[in-house]
């Protein structure tokens, strides 16, 4: 008989005698979802029970943030839900602004909304196309990745980087949006609706897709609320809770949009809710763009609030003037002390309510920073969603919940 | 205010011959009906243009990999149309993203399950050296547990950088000697990692 | 009648007396402190009462205050009343020597993993939790990393030079 190698998973007592099969799904599994593990007990194809293991990409963000002044925390927030980094960055900057008592001008709010809704579209695109890939339809994914490149080009114009953007400053943006950025935005607004319509028509009334997804991973509204679900997963279950509407931030109250709500909370409803949210985000971006264009003259040059202690000076000055260089260094290295306080601020990120709980004791760095991560909270419900169902439905449920490993583990 | 565009203001009409390249035949002695070349050259040419990668994508670099696999940057034109997720069937392990200490044994096991010849491409700052996460839970570079052939820096590296790293792997594959995997130096390298 | 912070404070002090204390309003959110063994009773009260209706647990986390002897570890609960859109926050303090807090996971299923994470980071023992083991860190870890006394970096690494980062 061959010897048994050292297994990463310890087989429990009686595992050879029992009637069910133990199947290990993850932590490395196809369709590049992220690293988390489900150990499932299967009776044929039906799932009897499942247990999750997370923490395979635990990078100790919260401890790292205790060492870093405010601006150095922004790159860490990028890596939470890395499919929509600008949302995390803006959420963090909004939290800092709440702590410091900074009020941003309207133009800044509208520009922020454009970037945040673009990030939301890019997040939902990945989720919906990966649901397609998991049911076997690879084409949709390849097709829409092209249009995510357009969104990346807009981020590049504003902040210089594609994926982990580190976009914006406390109080606004680092530079005004150039005409090139607006041209790229117009190109996106012109080309994308057709693409979304085609993508939607590939799946929404496709019989195979509907039969794969309807009924799988359903959850009732009461259970979802008890599990702390937020975001598209909660709205698919029937509860219309959206942080943008309930606690508006960054002037969301000036915009006209609706919240799509599902009925049963199954995979199909989640797909449709995310799809409809992309249409709503497009409409918000169009409204915001129109509003931004209404600012004329000197008003059109405003891209940040006036907070000299926390707003980094212009790069042209930093490279040429001594005072700006010193001031830039002081702010980044946290030589300006934070006011004492305790604040919780949340935004509607791609997956739900992303909250930042910041305690400051008057030092250079946060005393405690806790991220309320929606993925971590709703992944707890996974056993309840899949037990009793088939294995293939469990795979589709896992991808339709939009679990991003960076947000799961932090 | 708009910046004047400096590059690509007079774009050249694309020629088909620029888009398609033909792999050069290796040096050899040809005659009527026969061609002799070194075995390692021929095998290397075949292998390098048909590498089957295993994308071990853990975090943000994985999303840039997805963009590389997409049609804009297309990894498939380098012969890696088929990405596999089974280590038994793949040649190239592309580690993309942060590897934490919890994930380390899993990565090592996947590497051990791959058959020779195998190459490792470490994509992103986190896989190369721990990246910005100098913390108690992150492995400071995968070369602490498995030998790495090419490191691609960046956080995340642009798709062009990932393709550049991939092309460097192709160079290594094309020039590899047939006897390398049995040589003493290679055995010593494996022993230093505790792999027999 | 709108649910105001004064009303919540009044109802709590009426029911619990001085087991709830330290009321303050920070950035429009009511904050208070609850005595350690009453946390479940306060949560149940806030959940059941028809005019309070705090049925959504937004967040549960731990904090380490190393300077407050006897009260070093805190568990912070953020609750949300979705109908009236009111949020409150309360803390329970416990000591490093005996960090025991009753679990909220029977009332809110969301608290299950949040308490495991708090245990993993701070070592707070949640009494009655069904599966209190480490969730994010390696299972074999023998200390609680987010406590202030432990460093951020892995002390056994050899490739990074602490001298160069000002931490020599």
* Nearest residue in chain B measured CA to CA from C143: B136
Interface of A with C (CB under 8 A): 54-55, 58, 60, 62-64, 66-67, 98, 223, 225-228, 239, 241, 246-247, 341-344, 346, 353, 355, 357, 359, 368, 370, 372, 376-377, 379-381, 409-410
Residue A262 has a pLDDT of 92
Looking at residue A29, what is its pLDDT?
78
Task: Give the per-residue pLDDT at B3.
Answer: 63
From chain B, the residues in CB contact with C160 under 8 A are 130, 134, 140
pLDDT tens digit at each of 410 positions of chain A: 344 555 566 777 776 677 888 888 878 877 557 788 889 999 888 999 999 999 999 999 999 999 899 999 999 998 999 999 999 999 999 999 999 999 999 999 999 999 999 999 999 999 999 999 988 888 888 889 989 999 999 999 999 899 999 999 998 998 899 899 999 999 999 999 999 999 999 899 999 999 999 988 899 999 999 999 999 999 999 999 999 999 999 999 999 999 999 999 999 999 999 999 999 999 999 999 999 999 888 888 888 888 888 899 988 899 999 999 999 999 999 888 899 999 999 999 999 999 999 999 988 999 999 999 999 999 999 999 999 999 989 999 998 999 998 898 87
pLDDT in tens, A70-127: 999 999 998 999 999 999 999 999 999 999 999 999 999 999 999 999 999 999 999 9
> By mean pLDDT, which of A158-162, B20-24, B189-193 is the weakest?
B20-24
Could you tell me if C69 and C151 are in contact, meaning their C-beta atoms sit under 8 angstroms apart? Answer: no
Give residues 132 to 151 of B whose Cβ lies within 8 Å of C.
Answer: 134-138, 140-141
DSSP letter string over C79-100? EEETTTTEEEEEEEEE-SSS-E
Q: Is C75 within the bounds of a domain?
A: yes
Please report whether residue C118 resides in a domain.
no
Strands C86-94 and B150-152, sheet pairing = unpaired
Nearest CA in chain C to B132: C153
Higher pLDDT, B15 or A400: A400
So what's the pLDDT on residue C124? 93
User: What is the pLDDT at residue B192?
Assistant: 92
Does residue C147 lie within any of the structural domains? Answer: no
Would you say residue B19 has pLDDT above 80?
A: no
Structure confidence by residue, pLDDT tens digits, A355-395: 999 999 988 999 999 999 999 999 999 999 999 999 989 99
- The residue-averaged pLDDT of B133-162 equals 92
Chain B positions in Cβ-Cβ contact with residue C133 (cut-off 8 Å)? none
Whether the Cβ atoms of residue C86 and residue C80 lie closer than 8 Å to each other = yes
Element (H, E) at A361: none
Q: Give me the residue label for tokens 């590497």.
A: B111
C95: CB partners within 8 A, 6+ apart: C70, C71, C72, C73
Count of the separate structural domains present in chain C:
1
Nearest partner of A73 among A340, A334, A403, A355, judged by Cα? A334
Considering only CA atoms, which of A362, A355, A356 is closest in space to residue A339?
A362
Q: Which two tokens stand for residue A261?
A: 């709500």
CATH of domain A61-409: 1.10.645.10
Q: What letter does residue B134 receive in the DSSP assignment?
A: -
Cβ contacts of A64 on chain C, cutoff 8 Å: 152
pLDDT at A1 (0 to 100) = 39
Within a domain: C130: no
pTM (predicted TM-score) = 0.92
Partner chains of C (3+ C-beta pairs under 8 Å):
A, B
Which residues sit opposite A368 in a β-bridge?
Answer: A359
Whether pLDDT at B18 is above 80: no
Distance of alpha carbon A349 from alpha carbon A340, whole angstroms: 27
Structural contact between residues C90 and C98, judged by C-beta atoms closer than 8 angstroms? no
Mean pLDDT of B15-42: 85
What tokens does C15 get?
């029911």
Interface predicted TM-score (ipTM): 0.93
The pLDDT score that the predictor gives to residue C168 is: 64
Confidence grade of residue B85 (pLDDT, cut at 50, 70, 90): confident
pLDDT along chain C (168 residues), means of 10: 83 90 91 91 92 92 91 93 91 92 92 94 93 90 91 84 75
pLDDT for B2: 57
The pair of structure tokens assigned to A38 is 């489900």
Which residues fall within 8 angstroms of residue B33, CB to CB, at 6 or more apart? none
What CATH number did the domain enclosing C71 receive? 3.30.460.80
| Upstream peptide bond of A217 is cis (omega within 30 degrees of 0) | no
pLDDT of residue A66: 92
Reported as a pLDDT band with limits 50, 70 and 90, residue B121 is very high
The mean pLDDT of B130-137, rounded to a whole number, is 90
The verdict on residue C66 lying in a domain is: yes
C109–A223: do the CB atoms touch at under 8 Å?
yes
Q: Judge residue C97's burial from the number of C-beta atoms within 10 Å of its C-beta, 0-12 exposed, 13-18 middle, 19 or more buried.
A: exposed
Q: What pLDDT score does C55 carry?
A: 92
pLDDT band at B1; cut points 50, 70, 90: very low
Position C128 in a domain: no
In a domain, C161, yes or no: no
In a domain, C61, yes or no: yes
Beta carbons within 8 Å of B7's beta carbon, 6+ residues apart = none
> Quick check: B92 and B119 in contact, CB under 8 A?
yes
- For residue C167, the chain A residues in CB contact (below 8 A) are none
Q: Are A67 and A47 in contact (CB under 8 A)?
A: no
| Alpha carbon A128 to chain centroid, angstroms | 14
**E runs forming strands in B83-164:** 92-96, 119-123, 150-152
Element (H, E) at B135: none
Question: What order of strands is seen across the sheet that includes strand B150-152?
Answer: B53-57, B92-96, B119-123, B150-152
Q: How do the domains of chain A map onto residue ranges?
A: 61-409
E strand or H helix at A186, and its extent? Answer: helix A179-203
Neighbouring subunits of B (3+ Cβ pairs under 8 A):
A, C
Task: Please give the average per-residue pLDDT across B163-184, as a whole number.
Answer: 92
Q: What is the side-by-side order of every strand in the sheet holding A352-360?
A: A341-349, A352-360, A368-372
pLDDT one-digit tens code per residue, C113-153 = 999 999 999 999 999 999 899 999 998 999 999 999 998 88
Range of the domain at C37: 5-102
**Per the CB < 8 Å rule, is A8 touching B105?**
yes
Q: Mind listing the domains of chain B with CATH numbers?
A: 50-192 (3.40.50.12280)
Please write the tens of the pLDDT for every residue from B33-84.
999 999 989 999 999 999 999 999 888 898 999 899 888 898 988 888 888 8
Q: What is the 3-state secondary structure (H, E, C) of A133-162?
A: HHCCCCHHHHHHHHHHHHHHHHHHHHHCCC
The CA distance from A373 to the nearest CA of chain B, in Å, is 16
């Amino acid at each position: 008989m061959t010897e048994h190698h050292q297994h990463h998973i310890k087989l429990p007592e009686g595992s050879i005698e029992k009637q069910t099969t133990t199947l290990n799904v993850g932590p490395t599994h196809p369709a590049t979802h992220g690293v988390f593990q489900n150990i499932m007990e299967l009776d044929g194809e039906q799932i009897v029970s499942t247990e999750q293991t997370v923490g395979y990409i635990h990078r100790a963000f919260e401890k790292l943030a205790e060492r870093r002044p405010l601006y150095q925390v922004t790159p860490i927030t990028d890596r939470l839900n890395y499919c929509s980094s600008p949302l995390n960055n803006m959420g963090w900057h909004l939290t800092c602004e709440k702590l410091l008592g900074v009020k941003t001008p309207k133009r800044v709010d509208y520009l922020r909304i454009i970037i945040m809704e673009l990030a939301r579209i890019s997040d939902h695109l990945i989720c919906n196309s990966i649901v397609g890939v998991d049911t076997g339809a690879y084409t949709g994914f390849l097709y829409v990745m092209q249009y995510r490149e357009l969104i990346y080009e807009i981020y590049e114009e504003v902040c210089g980087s594609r994926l982990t953007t580190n976009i914006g400053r406390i109080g606004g943006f680092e530079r005004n949006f150039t005409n090139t950025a607006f041209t790229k935005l117009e190109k996106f607004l012109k080309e994308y609706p057709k693409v979304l319509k085609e993508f939607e028509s590939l799946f929404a009334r496709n019989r195979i897709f509907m039969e794969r997804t309807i009924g799988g991973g359903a959850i009732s509204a009461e259970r979802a609320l008890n599990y702390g679900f937020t975001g598209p997963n909660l709205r698919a279950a029937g509860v219309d809770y959206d942080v943008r509407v309930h606690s508006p931030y960054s002037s969301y109250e000036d915009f006209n949009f609706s919240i799509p709500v599902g009925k049963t909370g199954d995979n199909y409803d989640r797909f449709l809710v995310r799809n409809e949210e992309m249409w709503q985000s497009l409409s918000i971006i169009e409204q915001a763009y129109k509003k931004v264009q209404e600012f004329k003259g000197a008003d059109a040059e405003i891209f940040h609030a006036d907070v000299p202690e926390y707003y980094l000076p212009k790069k042209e000055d930093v490279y040429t003037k001594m005072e700006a260089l010193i001031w830039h260094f002081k702010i980044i290295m946290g030589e300006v002390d934070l006011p004492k306080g305790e604040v919780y601020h949340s935004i509607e990120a791609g997956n739900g309510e992303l909250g930042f709980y910041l305690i400051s004791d008057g030092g250079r760095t946060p005393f405690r920073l806790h991220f309320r991560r929606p993925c971590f909270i709703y992944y707890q419900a996974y056993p309840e969603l899949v037990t009793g169902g088939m294995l293939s439905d469990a795979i589709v449920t896992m991808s339709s919940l939009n679990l991003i490993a960076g947000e799961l583990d932090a | 205010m708009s910046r004047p565009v400096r590059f690509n203001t007079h774009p050249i009409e694309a020629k088909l011959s620029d888009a398609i390249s033909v792999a050069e035949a290796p040096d050899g002695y040809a005659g009527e009906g026969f061609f002799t070349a070194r075995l390692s050259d021929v095998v290397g040419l075949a292998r390098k243009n048909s590498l089957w990668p295993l994308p071990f994508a853990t975090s943000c670099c994985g999303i840039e990999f997805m963009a590389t696999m997409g049609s804009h940057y297309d990894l498939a034109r380098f012969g890696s149309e088929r990405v596999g997720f089974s280590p038994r069937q793949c040649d190239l392990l592309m580690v993309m993203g942060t590897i934490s200490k919890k994930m380390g044994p899993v990565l090592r096991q996947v590497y051990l399950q791959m058959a020779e010849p195998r190459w490792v491409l470490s994509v992103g700052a986190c896989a190369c050296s721990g990246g910005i996460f100098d913390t108690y839970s992150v492995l400071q570079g995968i070369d602490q547990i498995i030998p790495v052939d090419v490191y691609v820096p960046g956080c995340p590296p642009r798709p062009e950088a990932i393709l550049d790293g991939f092309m460097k792997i192709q160079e290594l594959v094309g020039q590899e000697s047939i006897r390398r995997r049995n040589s003493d130096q290679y055995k010593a390298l494996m022993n230093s990692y505790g792999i027999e | 009648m709108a649910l105001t912070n004064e009303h919540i404070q009044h109802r709590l002090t009426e029911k619990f007396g001085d087991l709830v204390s330290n009321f303050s309003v920070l950035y429009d959110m009511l904050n208070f402190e609850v005595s350690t063994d009453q946390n479940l009773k306060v949560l149940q009260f806030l959940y059941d009462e028809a005019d309070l209706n705090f049925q959504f647990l937004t967040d549960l986390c731990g904090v380490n205050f190393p300077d407050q002897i006897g009260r070093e570890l805190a568990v912070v609960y953020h609750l949300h009343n979705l109908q009236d859109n009111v949020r409150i926050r309360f803390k329970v303090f416990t000591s490093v020597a005996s960090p025991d807090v009753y679990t909220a996971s029977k009332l809110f299923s969301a608290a299950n993993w949040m308490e495991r994470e708090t245990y993993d980071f701070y070592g707070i023992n949640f009494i009655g939790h069904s599966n209190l083991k480490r969730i994010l860190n390696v299972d074999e870890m023998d200390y609680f990393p987010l406590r202030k006394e432990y460093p951020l970096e892995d002390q056994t690494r050899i490739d990074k030079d602490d001298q160069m980062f000002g931490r020599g």
